[in-house]
Amino acid sequence: MAPPPKTVKATRAKATPAKPAASPHRERIKQGVQLQQAGKLDQATAIYQEVLRQDANNADAWHFLGVAALERRMPENGRELIERALQLKPDNAIYHHNMAAALAELGDLENAETHYREAVRLKPNYAEAYYNLTGSIKVRAGDPTIEKVAALLQNTGVSPQDRCFLHFAAGKIYDDIGAYDRAFAHYEAGNLAKDVRFRPEEYWRQVAALIATFDAGFLETLFGQGSSSEVPVFIVGMPRSGTSLAEQVLASHPAVFGAGELPDLPAITEALPKHGGGRPYPACVPALGPEAIRGFANAYLGRLSKLAPKAQRVVDKHPLNFQHVGLIALMFPNARIIHCRRNVLDTCVSCYFQNFTNGQEYSFDLFHLGLFHRCYERLMAHWDKLLPGRIMDVHYEELVADHEGVTRAMLEFCGLDWNDACAAPHETDRPVKTASRWQVRQPVYKTSLARWRRYEKHLGPLLAALKEGEDGGKEG
């Protein structure tokens, strides 16, 4: 099955790679899967529909069509299509796994759990399903999943990718049951098994380039040349800092649509060099003219209009858009920007405990996490100074302690009146795709506060990095 689009987001529920079953249409479906993996969803969908016109009982075609719907952020449609596949092949573990992904995104965590458990029953070594199962439930002592995951980890024949899934699953299990030293050992092993590379020196230079490019004089020269729309609301911050909760609160308002973590701004930064003299981003930005800035802004607004044509506000909660606040200010001088903040150690520990998808390479090493957080703080301090009054800080701890008070302030900042639905965001029925999908379905709770203290003795590299400066040296 096709993997999800390459966006910088944390997610457990995702499409599982798979090979189409043998059938007269196998090669056509294989071609569709290749197109789907390349992000060409329209072409892939056309192939699956063509197959179904010739063979309405082709389970793989229904299944892959459902996965394409999930990737289009249409979970209800995806659920219906994968259900058709399961009616034809009820014993297919991968179908059950992806049905669970659709249900989890829709907030039906009870039935998602049922399908995850059926997936591992049918395929006892299904490491990714164990990982997603543990991320969708609170594991209790005595759950048979504990022994099954432990047994799989004893198998020397487990692939590196599956071993990574299993270690993160085991970390979540032992964290849930309060065995914190065992949990950390598994999280550490899972992070090591990820085998990714992050270059802090290079990232520090990128941050310095953003600060040098987006200065007060430059913004003043081009300010107001983008779109005057007030529709976009951007929630930024470190991942795991409360961005999903803040979005859920706002999206509970009938005038607001929560779009999740849109990949559009990162995609725009990749396209900008073609319009700015060929120089890399952000050096290309000063060469942009008003027409180009408005063009990108209008294209982004077109995307929002397709998602929610009647919404007064549409929330893009891609946390790493904190890197692009200067660009947001150029494109949308009237847009609201909400900056989610959380205790630095709680934030970093939570990041370390996530098996992130693409774009989060810094998160798999505690020292690198600390350095990345310092870069983030430096950049946000620059934006705050550059755009006084344009950015609202929302502290996770304050949102939990005084939910209504902080929520009222957020709504006022966004130009919205109070609505009672915002007082109970866990009751809002909307798709949630991020790793926080379990949390946002719960009443606002305080159990995640000071979570880092359970792991304090293991955090030496993180604490050291938070005291260091660029390139691992002293900050100058």
Gap between the Cα atoms of 471 and 200, Å rounded: 6
Q: Is the pLDDT at 439 greater than 60, yes or no?
A: no
Confidence band, pLDDT 50/70/90 cuts, at residue 128: very high
The predicted structure's pLDDT at residue 262: 94
For residue 475, is pLDDT > 70? Answer: no
For the chain, the 3-state helix, strand and coil shares in percent, each to the nearest 5, are 60, 5, 35
In sign, the C-alpha dihedral spanning 415, 421, 425, 429 is negative
Query: What is the pLDDT confidence band of residue 114, given thresholds at 50, 70 and 90?
Result: very high
- The Cα 144–Cα 193 span in angstroms is 24
pLDDT tens-digit profile of 328-375?
Answer: 999 999 999 999 999 999 999 999 999 997 779 999 999 999 999 999
Can you tell me the mean pLDDT for 143-152? Answer: 97
pTM for this model (two decimals): 0.87
pLDDT for 473 equals 39
**Mean of pLDDT values over 60-67:** 97
Measured CA to CA in angstroms, residue 119 lies from 16, 92, 127 at distances of: 12, 8, 10
Question: Is the pLDDT reported for residue 446 higher than 90?
Answer: no
pLDDT value at residue 472: 40
What distance in Å separates the CA atoms of residue 219 and residue 322, rounded to the nearest whole number?
17
pLDDT of res. 4 = 32
What average pLDDT score do residues 81-92 get? 98
Give the pLDDT mean for 187-206. 94
Confidence at 392, pLDDT banded by 50, 70, 90: very high
Q: What is the mean pLDDT of residues 296-323?
A: 97
Query: What pLDDT sits at residue 454?
Result: 96
Domain boundaries, the chain: 1-123, 138-195, 200-472
d(CA 373, CA 376): 5
For position 73, what pLDDT does the model report?
A: 85
Cα atoms in the 13 Å half-sphere on the side-chain side of 357: 17
User: In this structure, are residues 35 and 28 in contact, taking their beta carbons and an 8 Å threshold?
Assistant: no
pLDDT at residue 390, as a whole number: 94
Name which residue leads in pLDDT, 223 or 112.
112
Q: Does domain 1-123 have CATH number 1.25.40.10?
A: yes
Judge contact between 255 and 416, C-beta under 8 A.
yes
For 202, list phi and psi in degrees, rounded to 5: -65, -40
Main-chain phi, psi angles of 30, to 5 degrees? -60, -40
Q: How confident is the model at residue 450 (pLDDT cuts 50, 70, 90)?
A: confident
Q: Whose CA is closest to 71, among 38, 111, 47? A: 38
* Token code pair at residue 158: 């487990």
Reported as a single tens digit per residue, the pLDDT across 14-61 is 555 455 555 679 999 999 999 999 989 999 999 999 999 999 999 999
pLDDT for residue 278 is more than 50: yes
CB-based contact 125:119 (threshold 8 Å): no
Q: Which CATH code for domain 200-472?
A: 3.40.50.300
Task: Provide the pLDDT for residue 7.
Answer: 30
CB atoms within 10 A of CB 453: 13
Alpha helices in 223-263 (DSSP H): 243-251
Residue 234 backbone dihedrals phi, psi, to 5 degrees:
-110, 125
Establish how many alpha carbons lie within 13 A of residue 457's alpha carbon, considering only the half-sphere containing its beta carbon.
Answer: 6
CA distances for 339 relative to 66, 241, 320, 463, angstroms? 35, 9, 11, 23
Which of 149-153, 362-366, 369-373, 470-474 has the least mean pLDDT? 470-474
Q: Spell out where 89-191 has E strands.
A: none
The answer for 471, left when phi > 0, alpha when psi is -120 to 50, beta otherwise, is: left
Tell me what the mean pLDDT of segment 83-101 comes to.
98
Per this entry, what is the length of the chain?
Answer: 476
For 449, the token pair is: 């506060």
- What is the C-alpha separation between 167 and 352, in angstroms, rounded? 13
Going edge to edge, which strands form the sheet with 336-341? 256-258, 313-316, 232-237, 336-341, 391-395
Q: Above 50 in pLDDT, residue 11?
A: no
At position 276, the amino acid (one-letter code) is G
Rounded mean pLDDT of the chain?
90
Q: Which residue has the higher pLDDT, 44 or 447?
A: 44
Q: What pLDDT score was predicted for residue 358?
A: 76
Tokens standing for residue 393: 């800080």
Q: What's the Cα-to-Cα distance from 24 to each of 34, 51, 92, 427, 451, rounded to whole Å?
A: 18, 10, 19, 46, 54
pLDDT digits (tens, 9 = 90+) for 228-252: 999 999 999 999 999 999 999 999 9
Q: Taking 90 as the threshold, does the pLDDT of residue 447 lie above it?
A: no
- In Å, how far are 349, 352, 441, 448 from 346, measured between CA atoms? 5, 10, 20, 8
Q: Which of 192-201, 401-410, 417-426 has the highest mean pLDDT?
A: 401-410
Is the pLDDT at 414 greater than 90? The verdict is yes
Token pair for 310? 């009647």
Kindly indicate the confidence band of residue 221, based on its pLDDT and cuts at 50, 70 and 90: confident
Stated as kind and residue range, the H or E segment containing 127 is helix 127-136
Q: From the CB of residue 213, how many other CB atoms can be counted at a distance below 10 Å? A: 17
pLDDT-derived band at 1, boundaries 50, 70, 90:
very low
Top pLDDT among 179 and 449 is at 179
Over residues 79-106, the mean pLDDT reads 97
Looking at per-residue pLDDT, the higher value among 445 and 155 belongs to 155
Q: Are 165 and 128 in contact (CB under 8 A)?
A: yes
